[in-house]
Structure 1
Amino acid sequence: MSTIKSQAASADTTPPGQLHIPYSSQTITIDGEINDRAWQEALEVSLNIVNDPWENKPSPVTTRAKLLENGEYIYIAFIAADPEPENIKGYLTDRDSSWTGDLVGIKLDTFNNRRLNYEFFVNPFGVQHDGIANELTGESNDLWDGFWQSYGKKTADGFQVEMAIPYSTLNFKPGTDIKTWAIELVRLYPRDERLRISHIPLDRDNACWICQMPEITGFKQATMGSNLKITPSLVASQESNRDIYTPGSDWQQENDVDAGVSLSWGLSADTQLNATINPDFSNIETDSAQLTVNKNFSLFYDEKRAFFLENADYFASNYNLVHTRNISDPDYGLKLTGRDNNHSYGVFVTNDTQTSYIKPGNLRSSVVTHDKQSHAAALNYRYEQSEDLAFGVTSTLRINDDYHNALLSVDSKYRISETNTLIAQLMHSDTRDENEGQSFILLGNEPDNKADDQAFKLALEHDSEFWRLGARHQQIGKDFRADLGFITRADFKESQLEVKRLFYPENDSLWTEANISSEWTIRHNEQDEFISRELVTELQVQGPYLSEIDIEYQQATKTGLRFNPTDSRILGNSEQFDEQKLKIYGEFQPTPGIFAGLGYQFGDQIDYNNNRLGELSKITGYLQIHATDHLYIDLYQNYIKLDADRAEVYTENLVDLRLSYQFDVKSALKLSLVYSDVDQNPDNNPSIPRDYLGKSKSLSSQLIYSYKLNPQSVFYLGYSDNSAQDNDLDRLERRQKTFFCKVSYSWIP
């Protein structure tokens, strides 16, 4: 609970045909009660239209929103009625972790240019969910965390929520004039169907939903204050390791204490400076487990570190050119972002205690790491000529004494009409790497310490009520590299056609929405040597109990790895294989607190290590249980088996178990267990030395207590360890253990 004082009132008038947010001088207490006198002055809006999956039909439940502001905060209250409150899908969870449950919230485009919008949502327990939606990429950055306040509570008739969003957490054009922003109020209501309830209708024949958001005026007194946050942090750890292959070996212990500080400063209302010195850039919670055997291209992991997440959308384009997980352990970072009318820019500079990047190829990629320090920088500039036309320029650089990779990109997005969009991007890279060697040849490229090359992409997209169509072509040169980004393929040309037909039932039906799609893709290298051809046909049907059935059939001709890895040719140096696969997946929620999903995939799969065709069996399972309002259980399992020549090649089994007990919205105790079991058959892997084959098991565990006053004022106390087993060990042996504590506090003067 918190109490927030308002400023002196003003007398704005409401422009005809627009919403207007009132200005109040009353006191607001954020406690979910909605009984403060100030709410009597608020603008009240009804959310009575279901625009997904129904087409702008009346809502089956009543939702009212109230809005007002005081020059420092925007206040929003929601009264969400429910005829069956026992079916509300709302629990105490960690921030941003229950997007599929009951939520109410607001979307704000504070520059009213229909490019980015803030999203602030709250569940019935007051758990915050926020992000930034990007119209350019069509994606939402849910990893962004703003500083704001909320409180939610269940009632006999549903639930109600209060929110206070400070102007200091928003970017907008300053000034004392009345401002015009774009706004949408939304309630997510998951029962048999997941209804999206809004105060406005949305046209399915207009692919840009943010373009359809109506305007709200007011905010004349809006000020961002000093907009200064200083966040000192202290991390203490004790890490112990031992040689598990030497019986009776002692633990080797290392203690470490690191202090750092980060700063976020709004130089003006539309320009922000972020700086950090000696930050703790480790991920507190372990990444989700992924299958790794028989994979030719690098795996993707989300960025979770606050410095890089802040205003990350300023660096977005059609390609992932700024993937900051490539920056491992910097000593400092500096970032400047800003916006002025139709112009926006972002620039950051960091160093890194090592140099790590993805080296792409046409048949496989690899991750390369050098011990030498390096520096990394990125620059992005975007010009929005109108709501329909935008241009962007992105440049990145990674450099040390023996190496540099520089990239320049120009991109554009043009909305030809409400349903048709043209996307284009042209890129050039220049690389010098004195560490180049034989590993470069293995990827299908010639060893060359100095190289430059180009890449481009052109796409025409159609998105309407019943049809999604796409025609795309891209080409990435043999020597093109984006070492600060996530591009895993090079030396290839790709053409792709996509057709999707959507269906909606007219009356009550057992199904709520369905679609059937087909996607055809063909790839060659720059010398027009064949790489792959794929045709994927998919049927998706959504039904009662939030169920979904997904059936996918894939028919493909693919190239295996090179017979002679020192020869970059494909023709005459590889074999082609025909694959047919069928994937069946289903999920449903039988009760508000239980979600279950199960998938089975079988068919042909190339055994890349031995360059032959095998038979694949893959089972994927999900089980998520809210045992109580506080206790959450999340179990994920992925099992895969590959046979070839009538014998097992390998089996891989991953189990990822997460238990969380949420004491309240700020504090939680979490336990994670990640188990991996890989068994490679020595008698059926002729291309791999027998010493590398056999059983390999690992078990990682982590126990964390966390207290989060806000996204950057946190306290963590935890323990983690790792155990391993292979052919030389008859059981799992613990080889590493760590005790750690992190404290940071965001001070706002």
Structure 2
Amino acid sequence: MKKYYVFCFLLFSTLIYCQKKSLQTKFTTEKIILDGKLEEAVWQSVPIATDFVMFQPDNGKAIPENKKTEVRVLYDNEAIYIGALMYDDEPSKILKELNKRDDFGAADFFGVFINGYNDGQQNFQFFVNAADGQADCLATDSNGEDYSWDAVWDSKALITSFGWVVEMRIPYSALRFSSESKQTWGVNFFREIRRDRQKYSWNLIDNKIGTFTQQNGIVDGIENIKTPTRLFFLPYASFYTYANGSQKTYGELKGGLDIKYGINDAFTLDAMLIPDFGQTKYDDRILNLTPFEQQFNENRAFFTEGTDLFSKGNLFYSRRIGGPPSYTPETNINEEIIENPTTVDLYNATKISGRTKGGLGIGYLNAVTQKTYATIKDTITQETRRVVVEPLTNYNVLVFDQRFHKNSSATFINTNVTRDGSFRDGNVSALVWDLNTAKNTYNLNGNFEYSYVNDIESKKDGINTTLNFAETSGKYRYNFGGNLVTKDFDNNDLGIIFETNYYSFNGFTSYRILSPTKLFNSFNTNINAYTQFQKETGKVQNDQINFNLNSTTKKNHYIGFGMNYSPVETYNYYEPRTEGRYSIDPTRYGGWFSISTDYNNKFAFDFEPSFTILNESQRRSYGIYLGPRYRFNDRFALNYEFNFSRKNNNKGYVDSGSQNDALDPNTIIYANRNVVTYTNNINGKYSLNSKMNFDLSARYYWSYTENKDFYNLEDNGRVAPYAGYKDNKDQNLITWNLDLSYNWWFAPGSQLVVLYRSNAAKYDNLINKDFGNNYTSMLNNEDLSHVVSISVKYFIDYNQVKNIF
């Protein structure tokens, strides 16, 4: 009989948790003042969302009574309002670190997830922490949380005698929903009690199900709202002062305008006129010894905000727009390049995106870059000439993304680059699918991509296709799949790809706990296998197996380790930089260990050593990462990162007959070398309040490769000593970057930034192993540049100013 009662209780609990909770809201004409007090009478007249349940670590456990959470929702014709009471039996222990926008820090937070279409596909997420800071993001199951998206909304948080309170006003302009007279929105509320590392949600987010966005509750009662015109202007002005040791100090004034216009309730146009990227975060350059280009992060807001549609299929690498010129100028005898721009200026950029009531998402992005020249001088006659290194260029992305069954999608995407005149054009089209079963237990995803390149003198086309199947729920999960890329597939005009001409197979299996144990709050292990074959010869290009374990202890410390093994020799068709040639890489094994202590503590650190041993005499590599951090108080924190790696007896390409006329055309030179890299980063912040922050970011990077012996790459992929090669192919790169900024969000969507920046880079083949001397010589380098800039942008809502005019 006792077992029967237990069974009934578990069944009843499961039924409760599986049902979507529903909350009724109401229209208000009363003015809501965002003061974190909820004193307006209308707040007391609406139902309450309560009975939160734990998301992590003990999934499904009810929130304690002394930590109960109560949420109310109101709306008017302009916005939706959220009022939340977070009870806490020890308010003095509520963590409330001040931080910049989109950085939670060590602080409690409350969030609301809104899906205006209630289609289980995308959440607009808004967070407020106990220090009154804001964060927002777009969340999808396929792409995760994208915090580069920034909306304009308002909020207020207050610590009280019973806990803390959040009041939020989210204008309809920050959301997407249908134009129906009666709305039903998917909504969830989220709370983290930071000191306990416990996360709760109003509607249960079941961690056995491999989806997040489909587990919202429902908000009913939004009816007949008369949404205002969504037209916003963002004018900005900047002043820059430049100085370095080799030129006079000079100033530059810039200005521009961004426009956002709601074409209808679902679609928005974003236009950037006269862009200014002068305050964009610097790139972390590395000494790149690979045959592939270095991929950089996108830090320009226009190309990061609301671009989830354009990321479908991974065909869009936005750094191509306004990046380095596509062409290298050719010089004649007695000529030298005296001016060669490192970037191409952008005339303007526009994007349109949104989704229809039927779930069809449409995205369109267009950008135009200007014609760019390099200047070449004849060293004898002193005459100069200009050569086009980038013609007038149009970049275009078009996406159609159809969602169905609330958890699946099929997407068509096209990227096109058209260059004026006799220059290369590129076009890529793709079909992408992401299909899930009704209960989100299994997934089938893949793509079929076709590229066509017109290079005037030659044309080529190619295919890239992938298919994967996975189980995505429960303790045990797995996936397996394959990939085929033909030799002439090329999406590099507006995308990025490193390897082609192969087919591959992959497999993955994992185990995780779904509830805490006596030792762990979270624990998961996985085994991965990957094998890649050269498409034409069938030779193995890559073959590896790895095992990883990741866990969080009861004291919220992360511990993980992994092992990897490549059991067979592989054929490397990329390192020789010559079509049809390859070198043979030996078998290898390696591992890593990682620990990260609880960031709630004032002092915390990250520590991760790693190693790799190759089946070749004295050929091995090792590295160590160390990251101590200290939070002095809720305003001031510093963290330091040190990364060291060393590769002993590494072998790789240094020269060939195609690059060096002194060599036989078929000769490819490899070097036996030691590669050493040091990276030092210091990051710090001081917050005056939730709207004003000082931020420090400094990076000193030094990497060198020291060649010991030279080899000739033979036709069989092996290397043989090459005693006659005497060129100095050592490489030495030192870079320094420092950003010190003051940020003030003086009004919703409006910001003042004062930035001091210094940077320098030194690249040569002379290696000085005195670390201190390298550092001081870099700071005393006459090419060390200094920039002081002030930038102001102001958010203007058409609805607030139309009556003035």
Change beyond 3 A, Cα 1:506–1:664 = closer
Partners of 2:755 and 2:599 in 1: CA distance? 35
Aligned twin of 2:297? 302
Residue 686 of structure 1 and its aligned partner are, at CA, apart by 7.1
Residue 146 of structure 1 aligns with an amino acid whose one-letter code is: A
Residue 589 of structure 1 and its aligned partner are, at CA, apart by 1.4
Aligned twin of 1:743? 792
Change beyond 3 A, Cα 1:221–1:592 = farther
Contact 1:108 1:181 in 2 (8 A): yes
Partners of 1:147 and 1:476 in 2: CA distance? 42
The superposition leaves residues 240-272 of structure 1 with CA deviations (integer Å, 9 ceiling, x where unpaired) of: 344xxxxxxx42445332221111011211121
User: Matches of residues 680-719 of structure 1 in structure 2 within 5 Å?
Assistant: 680-683=705-708, 691-693=728-730, 695-709=732-746, 712-719=749-756
Partners of 2:502 and 2:217 in 1: CA distance? 44
Bigger radius of gyration: 2
Contact 1:293 1:652 in 2 (8 A): no
Change beyond 3 A, Cα 1:335–1:293 = closer
**RMSD (CA atoms):** 2.9
1:620 aligns with 2:625: yes
User: Matches of residues 116-265 of structure 1 in structure 2 within 5 Å?
Assistant: 116-135=122-141, 137-175=142-180, 177-192=181-196, 194-242=197-245, 250-265=246-261
Residue 21 of structure 1 aligns with an amino acid whose one-letter code is: T
Residue aligned with 1:303, SS:
coil
Change beyond 3 A, Cα 1:635–1:157 = farther
User: Matches of residues 654-693 of structure 1 in structure 2 within 5 Å?
Assistant: 654-683=679-708, 691-693=728-730
Residue 627 of structure 1 and its aligned partner are, at CA, apart by 1.6
Aligned twin of 2:5? none
Contact 2:185 2:218 in 1 (8 A): yes
Aligned twin of 2:352? 336
Aligned twin of 2:376? none
Residue aligned with 2:394, SS:
strand
The superposition leaves residues 555-601 of structure 1 with CA deviations (integer Å, 9 ceiling, x where unpaired) of: 0246465599364225xx31131121110001111744443211010
User: Matches of residues 290-689 of structure 1 in structure 2 within 5 Å?
Assistant: 292-317=287-312, 319-328=313-322, 329-341=345-357, 342-353=359-370, 370-400=389-419, 401=421, 402-418=423-439, 419-433=441-455, 449-482=458-491, 483-504=493-514, 509-527=518-536, 528-556=538-566, 557=568, 559=570, 561=572, 565=576, 567-569=578-580, 573-589=582-598, 591-604=600-613, 614-644=619-649, 649-683=674-708
Residue 52 of structure 1 and its aligned partner are, at CA, apart by 2.5
Contact 1:123 1:152 in 2 (8 A): yes
Change beyond 3 A, Cα 1:709–1:621 = same
Partners of 2:673 and 2:175 in 1: CA distance? 56
Residue 490 of structure 1 aligns with an amino acid whose one-letter code is: T
Residue aligned with 1:31, SS:
coil
Aligned twin of 1:28? 32
Change beyond 3 A, Cα 1:502–1:481 = same
Identity %: 19
Residue aligned with 1:44, SS:
coil
Partners of 1:689 and 1:399 in 2: CA distance? 44
Change beyond 3 A, Cα 1:355–1:309 = farther
TM-score by length of 1: 0.86
Residue 370 of structure 1 and its aligned partner are, at CA, apart by 4.6
Residue 672 of structure 1 and its aligned partner are, at CA, apart by 1.9
Contact 2:25 2:219 in 1 (8 A): yes
The superposition leaves residues 623-650 of structure 1 with CA deviations (integer Å, 9 ceiling, x where unpaired) of: 3333222112132221111112899712
Residue 363 of structure 2 aligns with an amino acid whose one-letter code is: G
Change beyond 3 A, Cα 1:429–1:702 = same
Contact 2:539 2:571 in 1 (8 A): no
Q: Which sections of structure 1, spanning at least 5 residues, go unmatched?
A: 1-15, 243-249, 357-368, 435-447
Partners of 2:89 and 2:726 in 1: CA distance? 65
Residue 391 of structure 2 aligns with an amino acid whose one-letter code is: K
Partners of 1:564 and 1:269 in 2: CA distance? 52
The superposition leaves residues 249-298 of structure 1 with CA deviations (integer Å, 9 ceiling, x where unpaired) of: x42445332221111011211121111211113453335x4754545544
Partners of 2:133 and 2:193 in 1: CA distance? 16
Residue aligned with 1:45, SS:
coil
Mean Cα displacement is larger for which, 725-734 or 378-387? 725-734
Aligned twin of 1:45? 49
Partners of 1:253 and 1:584 in 2: CA distance? 49
Contact 1:333 1:348 in 2 (8 A): yes
Contact 1:151 1:163 in 2 (8 A): yes
Partners of 1:417 and 1:355 in 2: CA distance? 53
Residue 711 of structure 1 and its aligned partner are, at CA, apart by 7.0
Residue 98 of structure 1 and its aligned partner are, at CA, apart by 1.9
Change beyond 3 A, Cα 1:481–1:282 = farther
Partners of 2:477 and 2:290 in 1: CA distance? 30
Partners of 1:728 and 1:496 in 2: CA distance? 42
Partners of 1:664 and 1:581 in 2: CA distance? 46
Residue 399 of structure 2 aligns with an amino acid whose one-letter code is: N
Partners of 2:202 and 2:53 in 1: CA distance? 6
The superposition leaves residues 273-327 of structure 1 with CA deviations (integer Å, 9 ceiling, x where unpaired) of: 111211113453335x47545455444443333322343122232x311221221
Q: Which sections of structure 2, spanning at least 5 residues, go unmatched?
A: 1-19, 323-344, 374-387, 652-671, 713-724, 799-805
The superposition leaves residues 4-43 of structure 1 with CA deviations (integer Å, 9 ceiling, x where unpaired) of: xxxxxxxxxxxx9732112222222112222332321233
Residue 531 of structure 1 and its aligned partner are, at CA, apart by 0.5
Change beyond 3 A, Cα 1:273–1:558 = farther
Residue 506 of structure 1 and its aligned partner are, at CA, apart by 6.2
Residue 549 of structure 1 and its aligned partner are, at CA, apart by 0.8
Partners of 1:477 and 1:221 in 2: CA distance? 54
Aligned twin of 1:13? none
Residue aligned with 1:125, SS:
coil
Aligned twin of 1:103? 109
User: Matches of residues 2-17 of structure 1 in structure 2 within 5 Å?
Assistant: none
Change beyond 3 A, Cα 1:118–1:568 = same
Aligned twin of 2:6? none
Partners of 1:108 and 1:626 in 2: CA distance? 33
The superposition leaves residues 60-118 of structure 1 with CA deviations (integer Å, 9 ceiling, x where unpaired) of: 43222222112212111222223344543331111111267421111111111111110
Change beyond 3 A, Cα 1:524–1:17 = closer
Partners of 1:624 and 1:290 in 2: CA distance? 24
Residue 713 of structure 1 and its aligned partner are, at CA, apart by 2.1
Mean Cα displacement is larger for which, 662-671 or 104-113? 662-671
Residue aligned with 1:487, SS:
coil
Partners of 1:451 and 1:252 in 2: CA distance? 49
- The count of corresponding residues between Structure 1 and Structure 2 is 690
Residue 690 of structure 1 and its aligned partner are, at CA, apart by 6.1
Residue 629 of structure 2 aligns with an amino acid whose one-letter code is: Q
Partners of 1:321 and 1:705 in 2: CA distance? 36
